[in-house]
Every structure is written in structure tokens, then in C-alpha cells.
Amino acid sequence: MNALEEIKSRFAVALAEITDQPEPLLAMIRPTQDGKFGDYQANCAMPLAKLLGKPPRDIAADLVAAVDLSAICEKIDVAGPGFINLTLKDTWLTGQLAKALPDERLGVAATDSPRTVVVDYSSPNVAKPMHVGHIRSTVIGAALANIHRYLGHQVITDNHLGDWGTQFGMIIYGYKHFVDADAYRQNPVAELSRLYKYVRVLMDYHAAVRKLPEAREALEKMQLALTRVSATGTTDKAQAKKQKKDIARLNEKITAQTDVINGLGGTIDKVSADDALLAAANAHAGVEQAVLDETVKLHAGDEQNRQYWDEFLPYCLDDINRLYTRLGVSFDYILGESFYHDQLGPVVDEFLQRELARESDGAICVFLDGYEAPMIIRKKDGAYLYPTTDLATIQHRVAEWQADAMLYVVDHRQGDHFDKLFDAAKLWGYTDVEMTHVSFGTVLGDDGTPFKTRAGDTVGLEGLLDEAESRALAVAIEQNPNLEASRQKEIGRVVGIGALKYADLSQNRSSDYKFSYDKMLALRGNTATYLQYANARVHGILRNMNVTAESLRAHPGEFVFSGAVERQLAVQLLQFSEVLDDVLVDYKPNLLCNYLFDLAQVFARFFDQCPVRDAGSDELQLSRLQLCDLTARTLTTGLGLLGIEALDRI
């Protein structure tokens, strides 16, 4: 048991006397931010004061008297309005360190209530090149899977590929009309990707041509409304205020609509400026419908389209697998949407039979409380939809894998889809399984809008990895000009990929974040680069002292705290286990990043103030070396759980 669990379990006994809902109160026991207030703080006296009608300080005093923490705490104080400050015993800390030192798991216990957790992550729509948006799901999902596994849960990772959607209609159509046979023979993936983009351009062009007049009309209406609102004179204060507000709102709408029109205009101009492209667009005026038709044919079992799909899919998979290899991620299962195709009809039938869904305008809909629009599971034309596949997927994951929890690591824009999906699944009977949308924000460029290339295209993931690696290589060369080129390259790879992953993981996942190579590769600050260099530095200390980690672990001595900073490092090291528990509460890997950053900073202070070579006594030197070893292992293990490699030497 870690310190926090130990403290909570003792408090639980005392709180059970007072309330039958101790959980929220126990959650108020936290590590302190400032060592002045001890190591942990319990703030539960304040809410209890209301409940019991007693001053919080008295309640705090009663709790202190009732809680038996003599085995682990040196001191328990009541401070301020009723904070309970707990200070751990040095002997308890050194005892825990001595246990962690020889332990492979650094003293982190596995859970005593393991669950079967399915992590649905990455899940790109194949046949389109992977882009910057895919990095978030991939790295957050992988980290959550690693941490669950490390804590003893049964984890099943599943890449729910979009391998059955319109994008295949697009490449089938593209292949039929535009393939460059030589290029396809030489590099099928590149040619398919070109075809996808080409058909996309044609489709977007026609859509823009269709939408532009409506968009202009809407703008004119807004402008008219603005003129009307601005022209009305009024002396009434309240009315003038409302008028001002209306004008501001209309101006905002006009700006947004102008952007839409400019966007559409840009799409049209791009094609019009290129004679060959324009000719192709004109010759394929029906491309949008034709693509849908090809998709419908594929789903209906059309032999030729099925053959195309069988031929194309492995190429698409090769393409994404190359990226997964570079990112060091893998999956237990890759069950794409196509896997569930045969189960969609039966799912809809069951919903109908059990009257969980009904027909509305020819479509089969699940009406759910609290939503304006129903969830459509079969369209009027008989086509099944994304939610239908997701329902079949839930059924599969529970029946085949006995999932206790399913985590969907997917863009926040799909929030509405998952809200409805989970409600529909509960209606269907899946009430005992946790279903969580682990949503995340958008990757932004410098200007605060979604990260795009200068030409306005989405940023390809492959190019991103290349750039991160080459910039990291430049840093590695600068830091170590005399190192062998192959070593420098390896460092560039580990540091570059690590930086990219960490930049993403260290953000609160719900927020958008600004992508910046310079920031992510900074040698100082909360970056993987800083942590990787810190880790290598600790290894350097052990190397310089000619001690091997094995010898340190084989002969554990007594840990000694000669001052506050060693003790602080000890507390921080022992909180590793607590932070991993914390990550899983709201599925937030950034808490582990913050922890590792804090650890590296405490270590830097320790290194500054506590000489190892000139420790003054063998005992103190050994203790300090052992703290170094624990720090390096915690950094390496923590980074590893985040999916980031660490090197002993940089």
C-alpha cells in the first residue's frame, strides 16, 4: 500500500463512525503542494462541519484523535480553519525506499480489483493518409493501456479502423477512372493516396459550386439585417444596449459567413486555376453520387468492388503500420468497421423487435431522452451508419472479451455520438459495463487555429515525425559533436519521437494545444527532452562513480536523510504509485507527465545540494547513490508507460 492509500484506509475507519458516504471525504486527502504543511493534507473537516453542525477545527481534532496513523506518521497537526496536516515518519520513508530499491516494480503494487479494460484508440480511417489529428488518440490511448496493464488490469487494445467507409468508394472510383498503372505498380500506397486526394478535390469542388450561391444568399440576408438593425434609432437605454448586442452578434456571424464563402471560393479557384483539373471536374460532374454508389456496391457484396477492397486494404495497412512501428505502438486486435458488417442487420432487427427503435420517415431510429435528434441506425436507403457499427462492436467486446470497461480515445467532436451510443447501449442492456469517451481537444498551429500546412492542408503524420527527428538530431549533434553518427541518429530518433508524444501527453487532454517544435524539444521545461537528458545525467553519475545499478540493489544499505531535499526526493519517489492511480481516475496521462517533471526538478535540487562523491561518509554516499538509482528507474519506467524511450547516455 502506498502512503496515500495507507492514510486513506485509516481515515476510512474513523469516518465510518460519522458518515455512510466517506468516499468524497477520502478524496479530499491529498499530497501537499508545499512541504511546510507536511506531506499530506486532509481537508475533510470543512464539509463535515456543515453536516454535523460543529466548528471544523473541533471536527479535525476529533478525527486526529480517532485516526490511528502512529505506524506511518510522525506528526499530525490541525491548522487554519481545520486542515489536517500529516507528516510521514522518516523511518517509514526509508523503510519504503529499502523495499522499492530491489523491486522490479519500484514498490508499485498491482491492483487488488483488476478489470478487463478495452482501449479503443488510434482508429484512423484508412486509405486517407494519417494526419496530425491521429497522434493524440494514438499516444493517449497507448499510454492509458500501458498504465492499466502496469497496475495489473487485463487490457485489450483494439484499433477500430475505419476500413469500410466512403473513402473506399473514393479510391475505387479514383482507381477506375484515374489510376496511373505504372505508378500503382511501383508504389501502390502512394498512388492510392494520390487517387484519394484527387477524388477529394473533385468532390469538394462540386460541393463548393453547389453551396456557394446559398452561402452568398445567407450572407446578403445577414448584411441586410445588419443595415436594418443599425438604422433603427432609439433613445431608450435598454433598447440601445440590445441594439448594440445585436449588431455585434450580426457582425460576428457575417465574419464567420465570409470565412465560409472565402473557403468555398478558394476550393473552386484551386480547381479553376488548373485547366486539366477543371476539365476532369467537368467531365466528372456526378462524382459525389458515383462515389456513394461505389460504396453501396461494396457493402452490398459487389464482386468487383470487393476484389478492389481486398487488394487495396493490405496496402493501406502497410502504410499505417509503418507509422505505428515508428511510434512504437501495437494493438492486440485490429477489428475495423468491416469486421462488423454482417452483424449490423441483426443488431437493427433486435432493436426493432425489442421496440428500442422505430421507423421514422423510412429510417430506423433510436429515440433517446434528452436529445433533440434520434440516433439513426439504418438510413432510408438501407445503409447502416457509424453508430450501428459501434453498437455491434459493444456487443462483441462484452460477449467475446467480457469487458468491464471500454475507453474510447476519440476527438471531442464526436462527443454527441458517444453520448447517444452509450445511452442506446444502456437501453439495450449494457448497464454494468463502463463506457467512457476519453475525449481530447484539437492540435492548433501557431495562430491558434487547427494546425495546417502553409497551403492549408492537414499536416501528414509521417512528415511530422521526420521533422521532429531531424530537429532532435540537430540538438543531439550540438550537444555531442564528437559522438558517432549512428549514435547521434539514434538519439535524434528517441528524442524526436519522445518530444512529439510528450508534447501531446503533457497537456490536459480536454484542451486544445499549440503545436511547436521549438517548445517540445526544449532542453528546459516540461518536455520529454528535459526528462530524457535528466535520466541520462543520473546514469552518468552512477557511471562516474563506477557503480553498477545491480550492485546498489543487491546490497541495500540504510537510506539516510542528511537534509530536507533528500527527504523531499524520497517522498516524491514514493508517490509514483499514487500518481499512476490518479491517472486512471479521469484517464489523464498529463498527471504522470507533471509528476515526472516535478521528480526531475527535485532531483536537480538534490544533485545541487547533496554531493555524491564527497558525501562525507560511505553510508551517506551509498544512500545518495541509491536515491540516484531509484530516480533514474522511476523516470525510465514513467517515460516507458507514456510510450517514450529513455537512453542511459545522451
DSSP characters over 102-135: T-TTTTPPPPSS--EEEEE----BTTS--BTHHH
In 33-179, which ranges are continuous DSSP H helix?
45-52, 56-66, 90-100, 133-150, 166-178
Candidate residues 124, 169, 589, 638; the one interacting with ligand ARG per rule CB under 6 A = 124
Measured from the CB atom, the residue of 166 and 305 that comes closer to ligand ARG is 166
Which range binds ligand ARG by CB under 6 A, 120-128, 239-247, 376-384, 395-403? 120-128
Distance CA 147, CA 353 (A): 41
Measured from the CB atom, the residue of 8 and 160 that comes closer to ligand ARG is 160
Can residue 120 be called a binding residue for ligand ARG (CB under 6 A)? yes
Which range binds ligand ARG by CB under 6 A, 13-21, 122-130, 344-352, 363-371? 122-130
Can residue 387 be called a binding residue for ligand ARG (CB under 6 A)? no
Cell numbers 504543511 label which residue?
A: 37
Can residue 141 be called a binding residue for ligand ARG (CB under 6 A)? no
Measured from the CB atom, the residue of 134 and 537 that comes closer to ligand ARG is 134
Q: Between the CA of residue 567 and those of 90, 170, 561, 580, what are the distances in Å? A: 8, 62, 6, 21
Can residue 410 be called a binding residue for ligand ARG (CB under 6 A)? yes
What residue type is 52 in one-letter code? Answer: L
Distance CA 136, CA 149 (A): 20
Compute the least distance from the CB of residue 146 to ligand ARG, in Å: 19
Which range binds ligand ARG by CB under 6 A, 117-125, 177-185, 195-203, 258-266? 117-125
Which range binds ligand ARG by CB under 6 A, 46-54, 119-127, 546-554, 610-618? 119-127
Distance CA 107, CA 98 (A): 9
Which range binds ligand ARG by CB under 6 A, 71-79, 116-124, 198-206, 563-571? 116-124
Candidate residues 43, 96, 125, 267; the one interacting with ligand ARG per rule CB under 6 A = 125
For 101, the 3-state DSSP assignment is coil
Can residue 408 be called a binding residue for ligand ARG (CB under 6 A)? yes
Residues near 510 by beta carbon (within 8 Å), at least 6 away in sequence: 412, 439, 440, 441
Sheet holding 116-120, edge to edge: 154-158, 116-120, 405-411, 434-440
Can residue 590 be called a binding residue for ligand ARG (CB under 6 A)? no
Cβ–Cβ under 8 Å, residues 39 and 6: no
Footprint of ligand ARG on residues 145-174 (CB under 6 A)?
A: 160, 162
Candidate residues 41, 116, 123, 626; the one interacting with ligand ARG per rule CB under 6 A = 123
Compute the least distance from the CB of residue 435 to ligand ARG, in Å: 10
Measured from the CB atom, the residue of 145 and 591 that comes closer to ligand ARG is 145
Of 531, 535, 602, nearest to 573 (Cα)? 602
Can residue 390 be called a binding residue for ligand ARG (CB under 6 A)? yes
Measured from the CB atom, the residue of 390 and 582 that comes closer to ligand ARG is 390
Q: Which helix (H) or strand (E) holds 638?
A: helix 618-641
Q: Tell me the sheet residues that pair with 288.
A: none
Using CB under 6 A, list all residues that contact ligand ARG: 120, 123-125, 160, 162, 390, 393, 408, 410
